[in-house]
Structure 1
Amino acid sequence: MAYVTTADGVEIFYKDWGPRDAQPIVFHHGWPLSSDDWDAQMLFFLANGYRVVAHDRRGHGRSAQVGTGHDMDHYAADAAAVAEHLDLRNAVHIGHSTGGGEVARYVAKHGQPQGRVAKAVLVSAVPPLMVQTEANPEGTPITVFDGFRQALAANRAQFFLDVAAGPFYGFNREDATVSEGVVRNWWRQGMMGGANAHYDGIKAFSETDQTGDLKAITVPTLVLQGDDDQIVPYKDAALLQAKLLQHATLKIYEGFPHGMLTTHADVINPDLLAFVRS
């Protein structure tokens, strides 16, 4: 397995498939998952001739279960370490949920200054800010995220099952077709990571104000989200992202859930490819 060691000594696992001279598509996974969450997209883009790269965030998947650095700055710096190690250029960075926050911070702070990024994609992404504050009155109350922390600390395994079998994929909807394999795969990925990283990560994805990151991004950026996202309300995410970004293309999918990259890969993948080729 391939690893890169970051400046602060953390081993980050990554996958790197496809021709080395092809345009790189770099995938950033959501909380509390791993690069495996991108299987449907990585195989799709690989079949279309691209180089596909994805890493496990620190404390997640096969990366080191360190006790520190579970914040958006370190997430972005770790992504930069992978991009620099592989010398990825003209890359398209695609992030889902927390991974969307990672993409925004990476592109703004590392990728653009280094001239490595061609485009970005934010899918059901957490920026600009999830938590409710005086400046963000429409955000999600902090009590919701406190509830996440409490449930994780009390019984992480059951909490992860409940999330995957419920709101993440919209499997709690009355007309939903539930995939047991999808639920088990989400749980498997989550339980591979460290409880500490997942606990601290709740603060990272919910309380990090990324308004400045979005405003700083100058590359063309595709913003995708479903209007039945029960994890990240699209009116506080995709709609605001499109307003803050300098060169945004927005698409809202009717009835699609937070985990639409898995449940509706047949629709999302061609849209991603069209944007990459545009």
Structure 2
Amino acid sequence: MGTITTKDGTEIFFKDWGPKNAQPIMFHHGWPLSSDDWDTQMLFFVQRGFRVVAHDRRGHGRSAQVPEGHDMDHYAADAFAVAEHLDLRNAVHIGHSTGGGEVARYVARHGQPAGRVAKAVLVAAVPPIMLKTPAYPGGLPMEVFDGFRKGVADNRAQMFLDVPAGPFYGFNRPGAKVYEGVIRNWWRQGMMGSAKAHYDGIKAFSETDQTEDLKAITVPTLVMHGEDDQIVPIDNSARLAVKLLKNGTLKTYPGLSHGMLTVNADVLNADLLAFIKG
């Protein structure tokens, strides 16, 4: 574990486990979490001989709580600063939710010409865009994201209990097995971060049109999405994203939630390993 300082002076926390000469896998977390959200995947892959890297996005987790730069351009540039510092090459980049948007921007702008990226994975990811627009009329209305902003501004601590206890992991579904520790860990990660970063990040993950990012990606890309994702609905995300990718494959999971990487890690990890080795 360590930190780097980006060109604009932001300190970014990262983890780097496993053999330095092994193929690297870099993980990009979702809103409003931290690299800790990848614990299960990082342990799984480091035990199989990979080098695993994950960082806390600016304003999240243990990275600096800077007031500015909470947008996809800075997110991708910060990730590149970590990858460049560690000289990661032939890496697989895996992003969840907002982290999927970060991966799309990273690969499109920083990863391919230098041969730094071998493959990419977008898990329950926000691209091409979550917001309803003329180009994407099936998106969510602005009122949904205004509600998120109100939740962060009015009572972030309560919101950060309500989201994981409800739709994020599908714990609001009849008969769902609820993991109290998972809810508390989501809350813990969220409350470590900056309210300003979380508030500004809502615009980043909802309003950034990443159509051109997806079109620019040429490496093999796996798009994984739960069919019961209540946070990022599959029809306006994964099903559209795969059509924009030059070398994309879509794998959907009936009944699984936005947080399937955590509560269905055994299924997801096996599929990730098969894609990476394939």
Q: Give the 5 Å matches for 1:108-119.
A: 108-119=108-119
Partner-residue secondary structure (3-state), 1:52: strand
Aligned mates of 1:134, 1:244 — CA distance in 2: 17
**Deviations 1:197-239, CA, capped at 9 Å, x for gaps:** 0000000000000000000000000000000000000011111
Match of residue 106 from structure 1: 106
How far, CA to CA, are the matches of 1:55 and 1:135 in structure 2?
Answer: 33
CA distance in 2, matches of 1:252, 1:264: 13
CA distance in 2, matches of 1:190, 1:42: 19
Q: Distance in 1 between matches of 2:88 and 2:266?
A: 27
Distance in 2 between the 1:7 and 1:80 partners?
Answer: 11
Q: Which residue in 2 is equivalent to 1:65?
A: 65
**CA distances 1:3-41 after superposition (whole Å, capped 9, x unpaired):** 011010000000000000000000000000000000000
User: 1:187, 1:31 → 2: CA distance?
Assistant: 12
Q: Distance in 2 between matches of 1:146 and 1:134?
A: 19
Would you say 1:3 and 2:9 are equivalent positions? Answer: no
In the other structure, the counterpart of 1:16 is: 16
Partner of residue 218, structure 1: 218
TM-score by length of 1: 0.99
Report the counterpart of residue 84 of structure 2 in structure 1. Answer: 84
Cα distance, 1:122 vs. partner?
0.2
AA partner of residue 214 (structure 2): L
Deviations 1:84-105 (A, max 9, x none): 0000000000000000000000
1:113 CA drift (Å): 2.4
SS in 2 for 1:166: helix
Q: Any residues of structure 2 matched to 1:1-278 within 5 Å, and which?
A: 1-278=1-278
Q: Which ranges of structure 1 fall in alignment gaps of 5 or more residues?
A: none
In 2, Cα distance between equivalents of 1:12 and 1:51: 19
Q: Distance in 1 between matches of 2:183 and 2:122?
A: 23
Structure-1 separation of matches of 2:4 and 2:119: 24
Structure 1 position 114, deviation (Å):
2.2
Identity %: 76
Give the Å deviation of 1:251: 0.4
* Distance in 1, Cα, partners of 2:70 & 2:40: 27
TM-score, L = length of structure 2: 0.99
SS across alignment from 1:103:
helix
Distance 2:177 2:122 in 1: 26
RMSD: 0.5
SS in 2 for 1:258: coil
Aligned partner of residue 167 in structure 1, secondary structure: helix
Query: Counterpart amino acid of 1:155?
Result: N
**Deviation above 6 Å: which 4+ runs of structure 1?**
none
